[in-house]
Amino acid sequence: MSSTSTPSDQPGPGDRPRVPAQGSPSRPSAQSAPTASASPSAARSGPEPVLRLEELTRVHGSGATEVHALRGIDLDVFPGELVAVMGPSGSGKSTLLTIAGGLDLPTSGRVVVEGTDLSAASRKELAALRRRSIGYVFQDYNLIPALTAAENVALPRELDGVSTRRARKEALAALEEMGLGHLADRFPDEMSGGQQQRVAIARALVGDRRLVLADEPTGALDSETGEAVLALLRTRCDAGAAGVLVTHEPRFAAWADRVVFLRDGSVVDMTLRSSAESLLTGGAAS
Amino acid sequence: MSGSGGTEAGRFHAWRAAVRIARRDAWRYKGRSALVLAMIALPIMGVSAADITVRSSELTKQQQVTRDIGAADARLGSGGMGHRPLVQSPVNEEALPADQKQDESEQARDEADSDVDPRTAIPAGARWITDQSTYARIRTRSGLLDTSVRELKADDPIAAGIVDLDRGRFPRSPDEMIATQALLKSSGLHVDSLVRVRGFDRAYRIVGAYDLPSELGVEELTALPGAFIAGYTSAMKAAGSAYEGQNGPPSYLVSLPGGYSWPMVMHANSLGVVVESREVRLHPPARADVPFYRVAKTSTGVVQTGVQKAETVAAPVTVGALAILEVCLLAGPAFAVGARRSRRQLGLVGANGGDRRHIRAIVLSGGLVIGVVAAVTGTLLGLALTALLRGWLEEYVGKRFGGLALRPLELAAIAGLAVLTGLLAAVVPAVNASRQSVLSSLTGRRGVRHAGRVMPVIGLGAVCLGTGIAVFGSTRTDSVMVVGLGSGVAELGVVALTPVLVGAFGRFGRWLPTAPRLALRDAVRNRGRTAPAVAAVLAAVAGSVAVATYAASQDRQDHDAYTARAPRGVYAVSSGSDGGRELGAVRAAVEKHFPVSGRADVSRLVYGPRTCEPHSYQSGCGGFELQVPTANQCPSERVDDPTQLSLAERRSFATDWRCAYGGGQVAMDTEGDVTVGGPAVLHALGIRDGAAERALARGETVLFDRRYDDHGSLRLRLITDMAKQQTDDRTPSGEVRTVPVHVAGERTPYGLVAVMPRQAALAAGFRTVPFGSYYTTSRMPSGAQQQALAGALANFGSDAETYLEKGYQSKNHLVLLALSIFAGLVTVGAAGIATGLAQADAEPDLKTLAAIGAAPGVRRRLSGFQCGLIAAMGVVLGSLAGVLPAIGLRRAQLREEWSTYHTAVDNGWGRADSLPHVPIVVPWGTLVLLMLAVPLGATLLAAAVTRARPQLTRRADG
Ligand SMILES: Nc1ncnc2c1ncn2[C@@H]1O[C@H](COP(=O)(O)OP(=O)(O)OP(=O)(O)O)[C@@H](O)[C@H]1O
Ligand SMILES: [Mg+2]
């Protein structure tokens, strides 16, 4: 379809962080968020964030083995925005994502997804939220091996009780829209790693889901394939989704609107994409 | 949060997704699926095959009638009541006299008694053939065979359907016969051989082999009408043989245009003729039109009581439920490991919004998918099996099938059991899988798995309750049912407790060397898969041990209750025919074939001509009866109704020697159990009694049953004519002869009442006729020797009665062995499955082990010990769980017998020699075999079949 295939076709890092000329109308946050350093009060002036983290802490274990994985994190992610999270190993990136998706509970603080407070939700409500609002993409083995690509994408809808035929239709539409229609009836072990990851992104956004949480989605891919995956993620965000991307690679972080740096569970820096780019390139040069 | 996910349709769609995943997974892991499939499908195959067999052997009315009367419209026969009118049932030929009062004049009675000719009831214009049977003794390869000989024109169109000719042809001339396959098989005769009948000088050639389709086991010969019975009967009459008059009256197969209606049947009944009519069978008359029902109301039929019905249903239901439990326990771990292996997949479902319900649905669907496939395969295999083995099954049930009868509802219900089993087996793994947090499933962290706390509590409760019931049952009540129920509940409780018990075994780890310790730790830590396997072994072993204990105890009881007819190794032979003329040849044969060390000849008392056979009721033959003096009669016999006596009196009979009738069977069946012989008889029977021997030498009779002792003599009341005695049926009033007796200390040895010297018998006016001999042997005759002797006796057509005392022969060895083998197989199977699963589960660890340089043998040793451990744990727990209920059952049985005994004593039926005796025997042999050999075998087997090197597989693809 549109320009999704171009990033991988056109090598050269200079081309990549291209801001789509006419950003979708739901993307004003990219400009307003940084100065307010993502504080909730500032965000209220714009549209509602898809994901809001307030004073988030997470402590693993207790006593001598106590680990503070997250210490007081605040973060808003707005529709149309892709936020990259970076940081050294063990800094709490994955923990942040699992809590944001309701797979884990914070020790203190609040997580609000599309207006629903996760800490007040029951286990059933959390599951329903994952079916309808939150999509996950992990590093690898994202797809259920027993199901074809289309069936994988249709799964959240089917679990939600949508009829098999309608779920399949929606899934095929989603795959088609992302240029993956030809993969619909393949099983995961008949697809490449990159194809699998892109199908996983399609699944993460099927139905009305608007929040993608991607934990090193390119970690198991070579850089070229990684670019294709990120390009897809970028287009989906431009189409109105909100994304949080954990990555180690600065060049992938450059696809994001904002980059959040974590160290020992705290946000140490937060930059706009443009400045992140210079920061990163500068850092790489020195 | 309501949405389409909560609605019925929504649930259905979610289930569809779950079933799809489960179906594809089952296909991906073919080995594991096939294993579980086989476990579930095999019993289903057996049960559905049994159902089809039972249903196929149930015939339609039309088929049944055709097999009874062929193509005829009716079979007419005598009602056996002379010319008196009778009433008959329309569904079978049961008949009652129409008039129950019996006040007829002597002459009228004689007239009415003369046999009725059923032909009087055949309407004009009907075509008919006769059908008649008699019994005859034919000579076979190995001796004589009593068989039925029938006269029927079997190839007449009227008879078509009665006889099913397999090979050869129908008889064409009077010296030809056809024989049933069963007869050919047991006699060693074949098509084309000649049949000779004992006492009849004609030979018949067998020209064909046939079956009676509803009675495949019947031994029968069929000849043309008039070819056998008349000649045979007159030959028998001429020889004065007891075989006279054994032929029943002929019946008539009638073909009648328009059929034989119910009014015609009633008319025939009024003449004393019974009719089996096709039309009446197929369309029975209304109840009100059947006088038989009004007459029969007074005579009661056997009605199955509710309790009996419940018991006949309870046994198969219990066995079925246990089988399902067993299969669930065996298949459960497979699903558990399946769920473990696809943790990531289940985690992904969770990450995509699957809640616990959906995870459960996926794992349960695994059971559903395999259950459904097992249901279909099992049923189809059952059908195929029945179709393939049809001939053999027909032989087994003794009936040709009317056709393969498939009852869709029953087969569906049986198939439903397979689905149920699959689902039940997957329940626990499904619940466990759904309890895992999504995160730990995704990250592969093993996490701390808490053992369920509910099951052990339920289990403990069940054990306590069940034990309570069983103890109560065996000490307070005498109901075997209560004990059985209690043991069953306790048994299930132990199964539920297995995880805790397996945990308890972990304590022994400290004293074990490395490999078994590793295996034990692994087994204990992964109770989730160990416990079901141990429980499966436990259940199978407990059942087998319980039955084995019960069988061993019963065996001892039978052994103690066994009464020998002679000392072990003694051989008794007797022949009553021809006044003992045959005996010389018989004795010569015995002495030729057996290692004989001594012989004692005996004769029998005969009152009348010497040609009279023993126990003969022929006219002209006399007999006698031993008299018990009034003073020696059991007091309860002197009154008509023992309840007239006081309770104390009635109880006293239990210890009164006069009420203890001598028991035991005799090796040689003489009249009154009085044997004529000398001291040699005592020697042969191992009785060392100098006083008795001297008494015999003096000419006194040795009396073993002192009830007959009338102040030093035995009184015998003579019967002049047994035939008359039989018809008159009054207490004999003949002359009484007296012989002097010596009362021996021994009580009725081997059922013998008295040994009488020949001169005493002659002095009392009896004739003595040589009857047989007791032989002592220097060693037990071998099987070959016994066969040789039987062959020799058969060769000259002797009808000598023989008896070899072999002592008590246990029937239980095979049962015990079969049980041990069954329990052993289940044990090895269950342990093997669990080990395979453990290996699959531990594959990463084993790879790590191999990677850090462990010797390849470690892998083998580990799996061997894993398998052995599971077997050992299950067998030890199962043996305990099996022995105890068996003991409880025996105790309850003992109480039951005592209570019956006390009732009997209180009613005045007590006998001093019938105290309850219910021994308890623990089958140590079986237990040792199970506890040592089976775990050892399991260990070696598992070690032998384990690959030493890890298999290279793709990493966690699911
Ligand atoms: N289940 C757990 N129990 C105990 N500690 C945990 C658990 N999960 C994470 N941690 C700890 O929390 C901290 C943050 O872990 P997290 O997985 O979020 O790091 P990360 O930034 O994703 O690292 P990486 O880049 O290596 O994936 C680490 O110190 C980790 O050891
Ligand atoms: Mg991480």
**What three-state secondary structure class fits B839?**
helix
Residues of A in contact with B7 (CB under 8 A): 161
Q: Is B287 on the interface with A (CB under 8 A)?
A: no
Identify the helix (H) or strand (E) that includes residue A266.
Answer: strand A266-272
> To test ligand 1's pocket by mutation, which of A62, A91, A98, A260 has the most ligand atoms within 8 angstroms of CB?
A91
Does residue B3 carry a pLDDT above 70? Answer: no
**What three-state secondary structure class fits B553?**
helix
What average pLDDT does chain A have?
79
Long-range contacts of B456-459 (CB under 8 A, 24+ apart): B456/B496, B456/B497, B456/B499, B456/B500, B458/B493, B458/B496, B459/B493, B459/B494, B459/B495, B459/B496, B459/B497, B459/B498, B459/B500
The residues with which B253 forms a beta bridge, in sequence order, are B75, B129
Does residue B171 carry a pLDDT above 90? Answer: yes
Most confidently modeled of A188-202, B90-104, B837-851? A188-202
The pair of three-digit structure tokens given for residue B639, joined into one six-digit string: 């009154």
What average pLDDT does chain B have?
80
Residue nearest to atom 5 of ligand 1 (CA): A60
The pair of three-digit structure tokens given for residue A284, joined into one six-digit string: 């790489």
Ligand nearest to the CA of A85: 1
Taking the CA of residue A116 and the nearest CA in chain B, the distance in Å comes to 11
Greater model confidence, B830 or B571: B571
Cβ–Cβ of A127/B28 closer than 8 Å?
Answer: no
Residue closest to A38 by CA, chosen among A24, A22, A56: A56
Query: How close is the Cα of A156 to the center of ligand 2, in Å?
Result: 24
Residue B768: left if φ>0, alpha if ψ -120 to 50, beta else—which one?
beta
- Which residues 340-399 of chain B have a CB within 8 Å of chain A? 344-345, 348-356, 358
Greater model confidence, A245 or B868: A245
- CA–CA dist B922, A170 (Å, integer): 69
- A142 within ligand 1 shell (Cβ under 6 A): no
Shortest-distance atom of ligand 1 to CA A58: 12
pTM above 0.90, yes or no: no
Report the residue of chain A nearest B3, measured CA to CA.
Answer: A160
Ligand nearest to the CA of A69: 1
Query: How close is the Cα of B781 to the center of ligand 2, in Å?
Result: 86
Angle between helices B8-28 and B30-57 (to 10 degrees): 110
Report the residue of chain B nearest A116, measured CA to CA.
Answer: B1
Distance from the Cα of residue B610 to its chain's centroid? 44
DSSP summary character for residue A260: E
Please answer whether residues A109 and A72 qualify as being in contact, where contact means their C-beta atoms are separated by less than 8 angstroms.
Answer: yes
Q: Tell me which residue in B11, B21, B352 faces A146 most closely, judged by beta carbons.
A: B21
Greater model confidence, B723 or B169: B169
Residue closest to B801 by CA, chosen among B609, B568, B614: B614
Ligand nearest to the CA of A92: 1
A interface test, pick of B349, B352, B434 with most A CB neighbours within 10 Å: B352
Does residue A129 carry a pLDDT above 60? Answer: yes
Residues of B in contact with A98 (CB under 8 A): 439
The confidence score (pLDDT) of residue A104 equals 87
Long-range contacts of B236-245 (CB under 8 A, 24+ apart): B236/B199, B236/B200, B239/B199, B240/B611, B240/B618, B241/B199, B242/B613, B242/B616, B242/B618, B243/B135, B243/B136, B243/B137, B243/B199
- A60 within ligand 1 shell (Cβ under 6 A): yes
Number of A:B CB contacts under 8 A? 113
Q: What is the pLDDT of residues A163-216, one digit of tens each?
A: 989 999 999 998 998 888 999 999 998 998 888 988 998 898 888 788 999 998
- A184 within ligand 1 shell (Cβ under 6 A): no
The confidence score (pLDDT) of residue B313 equals 61
The confidence score (pLDDT) of residue A17 equals 41
The confidence score (pLDDT) of residue B361 equals 92
Residue B105: left if φ>0, alpha if ψ -120 to 50, beta else—which one?
beta
Q: Tell me which residue in B14, B344, B957 faces A161 most closely, judged by beta carbons.
A: B14
Q: Where are the domains of chain B?
A: 70-295, 456-562+812-952, 571-804
Does residue B870 carry a pLDDT above 70? Answer: yes
B interface test, pick of A159, A211, A212 with most B CB neighbours within 10 Å: A159
The pair of three-digit structure tokens given for residue B526, joined into one six-digit string: 């992964």
- A217 within ligand 1 shell (Cβ under 6 A): no
Shortest-distance atom of ligand 1 to CA A92: 18
- CA–CA dist B570, B577 (Å, integer): 23
Query: How close is the Cα of B101 to the center of ligand 2, in Å?
Result: 104
What is the pLDDT averaged over residues B46-73?
Answer: 86
Q: How many CB atoms lie within 10 A of CB B629?
A: 13
- A89 within ligand 1 shell (Cβ under 6 A): yes
Beta strands in B744-851 (DSSP E): 754-756, 767-777, 801-804
Distance from the Cα of residue B357 to its chain's centroid? 49
- A240 within ligand 1 shell (Cβ under 6 A): no
Cβ–Cβ of B4/A161 closer than 8 Å?
Answer: yes
Does residue B597 carry a pLDDT above 80? Answer: yes
Query: How close is the Cα of B885 to the center of ligand 1, in Å?
Result: 55
